[in-house]
């Protein structure tokens, strides 16, 4: 039996995952967490899990930082990222940080089940569409692309802005202040030498980001 720890701050998402997993005889949800603090508490309590299914956009500590923290304390513990961001660069950063797998939240249920099983077995799994893009980027790395120099948090906020989220929405989703979101927004626009959210949307469409 694969014992799963689900980390996502949205109850409706956790319930949806549990309904999908209820159809599988070999996967059991052992515990749930809504932020990084709860994730680390479950791990530090000594409960045995086979896989952590982790959302990158939880409140507090960012997903990338949490991956690094977990791998520093529990190097062999498998982490599967389950993210609303289906962008190859974000997936690549997560894998480099130590995640064993990455799938998007709009993936088919069969992909979720396969990914959990693969990661629990000590293997890696990346959503096929993302894997193809990551392979292409490895052959022709977009080093000159302005978005390549963004931090993980800036890239995350970039994706949310392109998705139509306003500063207040992003602050709520990421559980950070409006001022912090505005600062990140200004920084990423400056780094990319753009001028507005409309420019960001146009850039994302032109470079086929967050599709």
CA distance from start to end of the chain:
35
- Answer whether residue 163 is part of any domain: yes
Q: What percent of the chain has pLDDT over 90?
A: 48
**One domain, residues 31 and 94:** yes
Indicate whether 211 pLDDT > 60: no
**One domain, residues 98 and 166:** no
- Answer whether residue 67 is part of any domain: yes
- Answer whether residue 211 is part of any domain: no
Residue 153: the pLDDT is: 82
Domain of 105: which CATH number? 3.40.50.2300
Residue 190: the pLDDT is: 92
Residue 121: the pLDDT is: 96
**One domain, residues 153 and 131:** no
Question: Model pTM?
Answer: 0.71
Condensed to tens digits (0 to 9), the pLDDT of residues 6-30 reads 999 889 999 999 999 988 999 999 9
**One domain, residues 111 and 178:** no
**One domain, residues 122 and 151:** no
**One domain, residues 151 and 179:** yes
Backbone angles phi, psi at 27, to 5 degrees: -130, 130
- Of the residues 81, 110, 138, which one is the last residue of a structural domain? 138
Residue 61: the pLDDT is: 65
- Answer whether residue 62 is part of any domain: yes
- Of the residues 106, 138, 170, which one is the last residue of a structural domain? 138
**Arithmetic mean of pLDDT, 39-49:** 90
**One domain, residues 84 and 10:** yes
- Of the residues 138, 168, 192, which one is the last residue of a structural domain? 138
Residue 151: the pLDDT is: 82
The strand ranges marked E within the chain are: 2-7, 27-33, 51-54, 79-83, 101-104, 125-126
Q: What's the domain count of the chain?
A: 2
Of 100, 113, 58, nearest to 83 by C-alpha is 58
- Answer whether residue 153 is part of any domain: yes
**Arithmetic mean of pLDDT, 180-201:** 92
Condensed to tens digits (0 to 9), the pLDDT of residues 95-115 reads 888 999 999 888 889 999 999
Residue 87: the pLDDT is: 72
**One domain, residues 151 and 93:** no
**One domain, residues 130 and 152:** no
Range of 40-49, 58-67, 153-162 with top mean pLDDT = 40-49
Structural domain range at position 84: 2-138
Question: In Å, how far are 10, 33, 35, 211 from 7, measured between CA atoms?
Answer: 9, 5, 7, 24
**One domain, residues 124 and 175:** no
Give Cβ neighbours of residue 136 (< 8 Å, ≥ 6 apart). none
**One domain, residues 15 and 119:** yes
- Answer whether residue 185 is part of any domain: yes
């Amino acid at each position: 039996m694969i014992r799963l720890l689900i980390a996502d701050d949205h109850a409706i998402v956790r319930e949806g995952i549990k309904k999908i997993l209820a159809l599988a005889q070999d996967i059991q949800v052992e515990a749930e967490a809504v932020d990084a603090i709860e994730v680390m508490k479950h791990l530090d309590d000594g409960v045995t899990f086979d896989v952590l299914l982790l959302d990158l956009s939880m409140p507090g500590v960012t997903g990338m930082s949490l991956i690094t923290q977990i791998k520093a304390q529990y190097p062999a513990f498998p982490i599967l990222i389950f993210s609303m961001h289906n962008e190859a660069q974000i997936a690549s950063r997560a894998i480099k940080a130590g995640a064993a797998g990455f799938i998007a939240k709009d993936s088919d249920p069969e992909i979720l089940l396969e990914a959990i099983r693969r990661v629990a077995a000590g293997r890696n799994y990346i959503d096929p569409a993302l894997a193809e893009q990551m392979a292409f980027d490895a052959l022709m790395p977009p080093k000159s692309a302005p978005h390549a120099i963004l931090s993980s948090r800036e890239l995350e906020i970039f994706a949310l802005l392109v998705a139509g989220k306003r500063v207040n929405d992003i602050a709520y989703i990421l559980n950070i202040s409006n001022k912090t979101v505005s600062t990140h927004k200004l920084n990423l626009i400056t780094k990319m030498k753009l001028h507005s959210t409309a420019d960001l949307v146009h850039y994302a469409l032109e470079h086929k980001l967050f599709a």
